Chains A and B, each alone.
Chain A
Amino acid sequence: MKNKIKAKGVSVFYGEKQALFDVDLNVAEKQVTALIGPSGCGKSTFLRCLNRMNDVIDICKVSGVIEIDGENIYDKSVDVVQLRERVGMVFQKPNPFPKSIYENVSYGPDIHGIAKDKNHMDEIVENSLKQAALWDEVKDRLDEPGTGLSGGQQQRLCIARAISINPEVILMDEPCSALDPIATAKIETLIDELKSLYTIAIVTHSMSQAARVSQYTGFFHLGKLIEFNTTDKLFKNPDNKMTQDYITGRFG
């Protein structure tokens, strides 16, 4: 299996405080990689390193190497905007723009000049919404505000927004934490379908979700990657005692 992303010796500091310690982790191409671990262990921090979202935080300093297709994304020559075109992100709390559903999806293609004309844009919006399993619910009200949708619909809208610019990687930070079981199930099915097209990394607090949707799982604890394995192996027969304790619910 080819590795899309290779992280080597990644450490992250928030000011004086170190949040990640020397993490090595690979994300396999067109597979789902789950990141689990107790709260505050640095899962989000690691995920945000992959599209340099941490650049936004002044006090955040990242060291180490993260390669996507063999190119170090922290290299000076890399343009962050182009990187984020290739690496999309879906956040824990749905954050649609306070604009119409259509504009939410068309915004990315618009600023990157992906659509050739209006028809092409309509096509991109429709395809993205279909891939995000939202099209049938919103096709008659594309000009209504995206913020008027239900929480689960909003999150799928954000997924549609992320895939509208046809990224190579999609990062998801607890995308289901604000959703009910039915909406969660929809998004899990969606993730499973999306993995044939995109490389996906997902942070989750739900052990069962990690087991259901991912092929690889990394377990973090106190800023360190304790164990990384195929999901099957990690949940059935973990190498590390701490992992064992965590997945059986003995701490965390």
Chain B
Amino acid sequence: MTREQRLKKRYTAEKRFRLMGIGAIAIAIFFVFLLLLKVFSTGSTAFVKTTIQTEVDFNKELLELKDVANPNIEQIKSAEFFDVTYKAATGLFPYSNAEEEKDVKQLLSGNYELEIKNYLINNPDALGKKVMIDLTASDDLDQLHKGNFPRDIPEDRRRLNNFQLNIYDNLLEQGKIKTVFSNYFLFSGDSRDPEIAGVAGAIIGSFFSIIICLIISFPIALMAAVYLEEFAPKNIVTDIIEININNLAAVPSIVFGLLGLGMLLGVFGLPRSTALVGGITLSLMTLPTIIIACRASLKAVPPSIREGALAVGASKVQTVMHHVVPLAMPGTLSGTIIGLAQALGETAPLLLIGMVAFVVDVPSVPTDPSTSLPVQIYLWSESAERGFVEKTSATIMLLIGFLIIMNSLAVWARQKFERKW
């Protein structure tokens, strides 16, 4: 081969290598894009809901407040709303029999009575007046309005019958059907009715779990890493410990769920389905990951810094605490955040400790029953109603969003605290 040929061969090899790299990245980006596209296109409608403008007559007689001159909030709260709400719902459209009456009422969400009541509590002036209120529509009407239900299939295979479609068209024409930001999705707990189900419970549950996981795993992992890296003698015992830690990091997460089930619920009797148990279980799972990250960043601190400190008469503990640990901070912090992000997306262990329960109330303390974001995704993806499909995707969007925030935080922490030496 001549010089020229060799040069040409080298150039083509380099070009091929670069193309292969670009191709690999392009494929990866394509799949991420596909995932995001799918999730966003189905999920974005979950953030809005459909409402029906309904006339409500806050008649004092119907409310049984006729004898009270100036009713206060307490009295309004304990008033009788049945007739008012019934009249409002059935007044949406004229009907001729009991069957049709039910059809009309079913156009509103299961929560419409509460919505009417809350309206009056927030606007006591409306007492005795007729007002127009935008009430949340039922899941079926919501899905129809969002275009997820085809209308051209036979009536018996449709969720809405011809009479109801007729009402819908009528209301739409009158401009009474609106699409507004959904106050339910982000701010309320789970529900059997998709139109009023929300992720607030799952978000708070995840938040509590992650905080508990952080409180438990960071100090323990840092101490373990510092001891193993800086103080422990290098012998067969520490070798075995090291192998075991690496092994634990690779153990399937469901095993930690079994451990949580057996130990935390079984032996210690902690309350089941709670973020407390979830957080402890997740910390068992993330400990090895964080220990490994902390050890790697401690190892990356140059030995010359340790020698410098020891040579001016710093003790071993002073050397480690004043110099090594602060210098390893960027690595330990970002390792911890990445471990927590992993815990945030974890489902299997939480299923085992009962965080898969159907919880309507948003938890206010870690010992309240709750779910978490990934478990909520799992729960909703199993549900039959069409309305949960968009909720599932929207929850995935939220989870991805939180993961992006945490991973950016990890990058930021690394850069912020990075020191040159």
Contacts and interface: CB of A to CB of B under 8 A. Distances in A.
B332 to A, nearest CB: 16
Contacts of A89: 307, 311
A158 B304 CA distance: 12
A93 B310 CA distance: 15
B314 A96 contact: no
A11 interface: no
Interface in B280-325: 302, 304-315, 318, 322-323
Contact of B314 (A53, A81, A95): A81
Interface in A85-107: 85, 88-89, 91, 93, 95-98, 107
Interface string A105-123: 0011001100000000000
B233 interface: yes
A147 interface: yes
Contact of A58 (B233, B311, B421): B233
B312 A107 contact: yes
Given A58-B234, A111-B314, A147 B420 contact: yes
A84 B421 contact: no
Interface in A147-166: 147, 158, 161-162, 164-165
A147 B421 contact: yes
A161 B311 CA distance: 10
A95 B327 contact: no
B311 A97 contact: no
B313 A95 contact: no
B307 A111 contact: no
Contacts of A97: 305, 308-309, 323
B38 to A, nearest CB: 47
A81 B315 contact: yes
B130 interface: no
Nearest to B308: A95
A161 B233 CA distance: 30
A1 interface: no
Residue among A53, A98, A161, A165 with the highest chain B CB neighbour number at 10 A: A98
Contacts of B302: 95
B308 A81 contact: no
Contacts of A82: 313
B87 interface: no
A222 B268 CA distance: 64
B192 interface: no
Given A58-B233, A58-B234, A95 B304 contact: yes
B307 A84 contact: no
- Chain B's interface size range is 20 to 34
B15 interface: no
A56 interface: yes
Contacts of A165: 312-313
B419 interface: yes
Residue among A53, A97, A158 with the highest chain B CB neighbour number at 10 A: A97
A84 B304 contact: no
A224 B311 CA distance: 26
Interface string B320-340: 001100010000000000000
Given A58-B234, A98-B327, A147-B420, A162 B312 contact: yes
Nearest to A94: B304
Contacts of B234: 58
Nearest to B233: A58
A177 to B, nearest CB: 14
Nearest to B304: A95
Contacts of B315: 81
Contacts of B312: 84-85, 88, 107-108, 111, 161-162, 164-165
Chain A to chain B: the 9 pairs with minimum beta-carbon distance, closest first: A108-B312, A95-B304, A85-B313, A89-B311, A84-B313, A98-B419, A95-B308, A98-B421, A81-B315
Interface of A: 51, 53, 56, 58, 81-82, 84-85, 88-89, 91, 93, 95-98, 107-108, 111-112, 147, 158, 161-162, 164-165
7 contacts: A82-B313, A84-B312, A95-B305, A95-B307, A96-B308, A97-B309, A107-B309
Given A97-B305, A147-B419, 15 more contacts: A56-B307, A81-B314, A84-B310, A85-B312, A88-B311, A91-B304, A91-B307, A91-B308, A95-B308, A96-B308, A97-B308, A97-B309, A97-B323, A107-B312, A164-B312
